[in-house]
Amino acid sequence: MSFPEVRLRRLRQSPAVRDLVRETSLQPRQLVLPMFVREGLSEPVAIGSMPGVAQHSLDSLRAAAVEAAEAGVGGVMLFGVPAVRDARGSGADDPHGILNVAAEALAAEVGDALVVQTDLCLDEFTDHGHCGVLTGDGSVDNDATLERYTSMALAQARAGSQLLGLSGMMDGQVAVIRAALDAEGFTQTLILAYAAKYASAFYGPFREAVDSQLTGDRRTYQLDPGNRREGVHEAIVDEAEGADIVMVKPAMAFLDVLREVRDTVSIPVWAYQVSGEYAMIEAAAANGWIDRRAAILESLLSIRRAGADAVLTYWATEAARWLRA
């Protein structure tokens, strides 16, 4: 009888050994919780396509942020849903607008316990649902949009946001916002650049969450799902323009891009486990087809293994509690 000369299974023989040699870990501090706050609410409203996720009132937002901090979550990313929209997204840089009011509230409530972050994009605030200012022919005007983004950035920084999530995919957005922040003295405000953000079918439930007004698509500024090199190029440019962190979005469908971006840039790389990825696992678990907890943790670990230093996930608080138990 012949025997194996190399016995690789020795490293899998017990939980203790497997823990000792595990290459990738998942910790609560590596998770960021995206949160939706809607103007005019007195109670949270459930989002039908995202079981367990809600549009928050200011009070319920504070409570959920405290729970996230107590669980050890590293940060929260805020998305505002205004009561009134217009073509310029005027509510986005209004100091009394819902996103800036929420940022100020959370900075006071949990700003010492986790990183308060705000989405910097116009799509939630425009009546056409695009991420920028439109020209007469309906296309997105890159440079006019940068002027609006700059105003948004300053409003969010003044409200107490510690990290700005530049998700609009406009050319030059990192450079112009970094310069504006520095000129106003906000030299410590972090920039997270959504570098490799793809035009994806997995954003569907998010559109319900923010009551999106979009008709058409965003393919003239978000990336073609077939392009890996282009996503890496975007990350290189954003790093050169002064981004502190770059993002790959969605996460699970673009793990190859995530790995290559991680191998290319020298700054932290995050990934966003988007609403559709969340909804698929929740739906399969609700039907009894998969083990919910195991699938959630495996999905997060896979994103970390592909190279993400942190993961935006709607399971952040729940997963953090599991990891600390």
Could you give the residue numbers annotated as active site?
197, 249
Residue 16, amino acid? A
Q: What is the CA 125 to chain-centroid distance, rounded?
A: 18
CB 299 within 8 A of CB 253: no
Q: What is the 3-state secondary structure (H, E, C) of the chain?
A: CCCCCCCHHHHHCCHHHHHHHCCCCCCHHHEEEEEEEECCCCCCEECCCCCCCEEECHHHHHHHHHHHHHHCCCEEEEEEECCCCECCCHHHCCCCCHHHHHHHHHHHHHCCCCEEEEEECCCCCECCCCCCCECCCCCECHHHHHHHHHHHHHHHHHHCCCEEEECCCCCCHHHHHHHHHHHCCCCCCEEEEEEEEECCHHHHHHHHHCCCCCCCCCCCCCECCCCHHHHHHHHHHHHHHCCCEEEEECCHHHHHHHHHHHHHCCCCEEEECCHHHHHHHHHHHHCCCCCHHHHHHHHHHHHHHCCCCEEECCCHHHHHHHHHC
Q: List beta partners, residue 66.
A: none
Rounded to 10 deg, the angle between the 228-241 and 173-183 helix axes is: 20
